[in-house]
Amino acid sequence: MEDKAINFPLNSTKTNNVNSTTNETVLEIWGRASLQGQVKISGAKNSALAIMAGAILCPTDCRISNIPSLVDIGRMSQILQALGVKLTRNGDILDINARDIVSQEAPYDIVSQLRASFFVIGPLLTRLGVARVPLPGGCAIGARPVDLHVRGLQALGADVMIESGTVLAGVKGRGGRLKGTKIYLDYPSVGATETIMMAATLAEGETIIENAACEPEVVDLANFCCSMGAKIKGAGTQTITIAGVDRLHSTDYSIIPDRIEAGTFLVAGAIANSELVLTHVIPEHLSAVIAKLKEIGCQIRQEDLNCLRIIPGHLRGTNIETLPFPGFPTDLQAQFMALLAVSEGDSLISETVFENRLHHVAELNRMGANIYVKGNHAIVRGVPFLSGAPVQATDLRASAALVLAGIAARGKTVVRGLQHLDRGYENLEGKLRNLGVNLQRVTP
Ligand code: UD1
């Protein structure tokens, strides 16, 4: 296939016609089909977004493969282009050249739609000595401040202020270079760990991040940076040490599979009571998820190095608490709630990572689930079946939960708010249809 230069116009970030109430595109699902077959898991969205920002660190060509095709990736591409970065996409391969950064300011209209785009602040600041990035948007799942990112950059010697909704960061003296230091994070934030790690890569001297996030996407970003010549040790543990270098070099790097997409398909198999095979997964990234599926009554078999088979059994309730990795991921909480809604007995789900991430409860209850919310806890009383209904997706993972509920429900479910789904699942409908789900996107 021929290489195509990406051109994402800044005013066309909404790919689907989903915002109008009159002709909004919706997803219709007819539930209770029996599924079978195998599904290939795509590259990890959250790795890809951080690594694309990380490519700013390098003044020469970077090739990144296994990039999923998603609206969020398109938005991050637009941000990089607005900064002057050249991008060429060919299938799942993205070539990035950040030699000529023409602007230190990320455009508000895209940053406001994609929280991960804030991650450009670290690479911009450490490479140019100055960065201006609007406060981010993203899913409506809580306040999601950036104070830990800001405090980390300040500890590295940056002057940071917030003016008119934009974070302005600059390094005075020392040729505009950040200076390594020891940073303790009050909370192991994924984004703050990534921001500080990227900024420290080109800083003078050694930086130690304590209470760092251990998520596989943090490790992937560290591996990507190391492939460009960065000196990072300890990624995947609570202490990451970065020895600053003067310059990074070209790389050719493939990102890890998406553990959240994998978890979503495991739930699809369980909720449809159907045996499925997932390929291109890293089972160690799914330990907590696999443990919970086993408690719920499913068998999970590792068939090959990167291949998992789910064999569902009689579903029973369990308790889940979301936690930083290696704990149970908050990004699979909604999908597991859909599963527990049709599992026998009571379950308690506690959301501890985000303070406002239970919007899907009302929609699941509209489908016949029996879920009661108190604070950040949801008490799920299993029901024998769900009934198809019109439902509204409120955020990315909530929309996946509603699709899963639709797969399990009797009759037709109509999911609205597909702009959330399109942010983070590559070809979800195509993949589900191949497994036997009866669904279609329609514009009335
Ligand atoms: C990343 C993931 C997101 C996932 C989350 C937790 C990306 C693009 N997104 O988001 O899918 O749900 O990790 O696994 O990688 N917090 C602060 N101050 C900060 C930063 C975070 O208080 O400066 C709080 C947040 O409000 C939240 C908690 O820390 O309550 C966790 O956030 P964090 O780990 O930073 O998540 P993100 O990096 O935004």
Q: What DSSP letter does each residue of 48-99 carry, written as one string?
A: HHHHHHHGGG-SSEEEEES----HHHHHHHHHHHHHT-EEEEETTEEEEE-S
Residue nearest ligand 1's atom 7 by CA? 46
Kindly state the helix (H) or strand (E) to which residue 341 belongs, with its residue range: helix 333-341
**Residue 282 is encoded by which pair of tokens?**
């890293």
Instruction: Look at residue 8 in the predicted model and tell me its pLDDT.
Output: 37
Name the active-site residue from 139, 214, 225, 298.
139
Instruction: Look at residue 417 in the predicted model and tell me its pLDDT.
Output: 93
Q: Tell me how far apart the alpha carbons of residues 264 and 318 are, in angstroms, rounded to a whole number.
A: 17
139 is catalytic: yes
Instruction: Look at residue 144 in the predicted model and tell me its pLDDT.
Output: 66
Distance separating the N- and C-terminal Cα atoms of the chain: 35
Closest CA relative to residue 119, chosen from 225, 208, 204, 211: 225
Q: Is 331 in the pocket of ligand 1 (CB under 6 A)?
A: yes
A 10 A CB-CB count for 1 gives 6
Instruction: Look at residue 7 in the predicted model and tell me its pLDDT.
Output: 41
* Distance in Å, CA 415 to ligand 1 centroid: 26
Q: Is 259 in the pocket of ligand 1 (CB under 6 A)?
A: no
197 contacts 242 by C-beta, under 8 angstroms: yes
Q: Tell me how far apart the alpha carbons of residues 249 and 55 are, in angstroms, rounded to a whole number.
A: 10
Chunked mean pLDDT (size 10), the chain, 444 residues: 37 37 86 96 98 97 97 95 96 97 88 88 95 74 76 96 90 84 98 98 98 98 98 98 97 98 98 98 98 98 95 98 98 98 98 91 97 96 97 94 98 95 93 97 89
pLDDT (tens digit, 9 = 90+) per residue, 184-213? 999 999 999 999 999 999 999 999 999 999
Q: Tell me how far apart the alpha carbons of residues 224 and 216 are, in angstroms, rounded to a whole number.
A: 12
SS3 (DSSP) at 44? coil
Residue nearest ligand 1's atom 29 by CA? 189
Q: Is 395 in the pocket of ligand 1 (CB under 6 A)?
A: no
Instruction: Look at residue 156 in the predicted model and tell me its pLDDT.
Output: 97
Q: Is 144 in the pocket of ligand 1 (CB under 6 A)?
A: yes
Instruction: Look at residue 13 in the predicted model and tell me its pLDDT.
Output: 35
Residue nearest ligand 1's atom 5 by CA? 190
Instruction: Look at residue 113 in the predicted model and tell me its pLDDT.
Output: 84
* Distance in Å, CA 442 to ligand 1 centroid: 33
* Distance in Å, CA 144 to ligand 1 centroid: 7
